[in-house]
Amino acid sequence: MQLKRAVITGVGLITPLGGDTGSLMEGIKARKSSVRYMEEWAQYNGLGSHVAAPVELKDEKKIPRQNRRSMGRMSIFAAQASAQALADAGITPSEIPLGRIGCIIGSTMGSAKSINDAFEIMLPTKDISLIPSLLFFQCMSHTAAANVAQYLGLTGYLMAPAAACASSLQAIGIGYDLIRLGRQDVLLCGGAEELHPTVTGSFDILFATSVKYNQSPQKTPRPFDQDRDGLVCGEGSGILILEEYERAVRRNAKIYAEIIGYSTNGSGSHISQADKKSMIHCMSEALNNAQVTPEQIDYISAHATGTLQGDKEEAEAIGEIFGGHVPVSSLKGYIGHTLGASGAIELIASLQMMEEGIIYPTLNLDNISPDCEGIYHVTQPVRKEIKTILKNSFAFGGIAAALVCRKFDSSVKSNGRSE
Amino acid sequence: MTEQEIIEITYKVFEELFEIKREQLQPQAHIFNDLGLDSLDIVDLVVALQKSFGVKIRNEDRVRNIRTLQDIFEFIFAIKNEESKKSS
């Protein structure tokens, strides 16, 4: 069976550095951190990390109330990023045949604030009748995907991978497969996530958050740095338009890149600890699927969140496959760890780097930690022609995901594969 | 509670919960056809009316007959009267 090809023809972003792709890239270029001290979190006993990268919510009332009423914060981010991505691609869903345009948008869970609100309403009186009718739709695990589909009139596949910090990369990977199999013509793929003290708290109780920089928030997280002390939560949404290649060419669409390889796996070993072996396996399988060698990768957008264990394992895994030849950077220092949205947000930033021919550095990487050495850390902007990139995402639950994208080249007529 | 107070509180619920502009709020306005509410909104309307007026109406069959804002005023007025009779 000759598989179809999946290309990216639109992107949309809501990030702590701004509500579109341009403002994120301007912030990254200016080496700007969006991490700040969260004064209102001081009231939580036992919470050590009081830093986060929040999004400034804007224009949410432009979404009609009938659509907005079932949206928590993360769904608003997803809806805004999705509308941007469709506009960027020049696609109007109603012009696509019924059932051929869908969305796959992942997140760790439903809206954290809404879940918290539901229990705060119910528990003091144990009265379920006080819960507003729309709160459930904000709490459900597929809230972002479902709300986007209703808001934009998407009638195709509607799915929501819940794989914590690998959710959006899995969403893109699933979309890649569905487009290649010919099951969908266009898909909105990505993720969304929102900040809440309970979200940071879930990492905090596992000693995975940054706690030493509450008074100097811009210095954390510090991926791969010797003074890193944990992750910092961010929020936002990244949405990519995946489109069947022939369709995109027929309508003369701008093609950012072609997705040429993907893999995801479970470590089968530990619920929370990062596992080098499964990372290596996942990246290798993605390269095999893309039919590229490690030497052909021009840039690796690392997952690296600034945790002691996770960064070390990822650096070792990358080192084992790529040695010290392929530039590696993590974007968590700029926007924190946007969890389920991080894979999509950082992939979009990587596509921008591909377009500009510049690799932006890991922010706050001042002194490479001895346990993260052996790979090509980008600490200053690097000018380079970027043809092929690898994006990593790793998650609690022992999940790894890796995606390979190639710059679109109209002279390449086929991906040359029949699987 | 006077009828005018009931009207004011009801209007406030519609303004805050359903983001409907004051000028659209007329006693004869049909809550579905004119104000755009649907079945999900009615659940929230009941919760909001219960809270605003301190009444229990969730299991009241009369809620199903509400069509206009005037219907709400009359319903709340009736419920309030029944409650005060019960307590006196």
> Which structural domain, as residue segments, surrounds residue A141?
6-250
List, in order, residues 6 or more apart from A143 with CB less than 8 Å away: A70, A71, A72, A74, A75, A107, A110, A111, A137, A160
Count of domains forming chain B: 1
Residue A287 is part of a domain; what is its CATH number? Answer: 3.40.47.10
Q: How confident is the model over A56-81, as pLDDT tens digits? A: 999 999 999 999 999 999 999 999 99
- In the predicted model, is pLDDT for residue A412 greater than 70? no
> Which structural domain, as residue segments, surrounds residue B9?
3-87
| Burial profile A250-284: b = 16 or more Cβ within 10 angstroms, e = fewer | eeebebbbbbbbbbbbebeeeeeebbbebbbbbbb
Count of domains forming chain A: 2
Specify whether A79 is located in the same domain as A196: yes
Specify whether A300 is located in the same domain as A193: no
Q: Output the pLDDT for position B87.
A: 78
pTM of the complete model = 0.95
Q: What is the ipTM of this complex?
A: 0.85
Specify whether A239 is located in the same domain as A274: no
- In the predicted model, is pLDDT for residue A414 greater than 70? no
Q: Output the pLDDT for position A178.
A: 98
Residue B41 is part of a domain; what is its CATH number? Answer: 1.10.1200.10
Specify whether A288 is located in the same domain as A223: no
> CA dihedral in degrees (A15, A20, A25, A28; nearest 10)?
-20
DSSP, residue by residue, A221-276: --TTBTT---B-BB-EEEEEEEEEHHHHHHTT----EEEEEEEEEE-SS-SSS--H
Residue where a domain stops, chosen among A250, A275, A299: A250
Q: How confident is the model over A267-292, as pLDDT tens digits? A: 999 999 989 999 999 999 999 999 99
Is the N-terminal amide bond of A221 cis, ω within 30° of 0? yes
> Beta-carbon neighbour count of residue A89 at 10 Å?
25
| Average pLDDT, integer, range B36-61 | 92
In angstroms, rounded to a whole number, what is the distance separating the alpha carbons of residues B1 and B78?
11
Specify whether A146 is located in the same domain as A234: yes
> Beta-carbon neighbour count of residue B82 at 10 Å?
11
Q: Write out the two tokens for A51.
A: 């830093």
Q: How confident is the model over A311-343, as pLDDT tens digits? A: 999 999 999 999 999 999 999 999 999 999 999
In a domain, A402, yes or no: yes
In a domain, A1, yes or no: no
Specify whether A272 is located in the same domain as A355: yes
Residue where a domain stops, chosen among A250, A271, A300: A250
Best mutation target among B21, B41, B49, B55 (most A Cβ atoms within 10 Å) is B41
- In the predicted model, is pLDDT for residue A310 greater than 90? yes
Specify whether A16 is located in the same domain as A160: yes
In a domain, A412, yes or no: no
In angstroms, rounded to a whole number, what is the distance separating the alpha carbons of residues A371 and A189?
35
A125 touching B, CB under 8 A? no
Angle subtended at Cα A308 by Cα A307 and Cα A310, rounded to the nearest 5 degrees: 65
- Nearest Cβ partner of B44 from A61, A66, A133? A133
Residue where a domain stops, chosen among A208, A230, A250: A250
- In the predicted model, is pLDDT for residue A411 greater than 80? no
A134 touching B, CB under 8 A? yes
DSSP state of A360: P
**Distance of residue A110 Cα from the nearest chain B Cα, in angstroms:** 20
B16 touching A, CB under 8 A? no
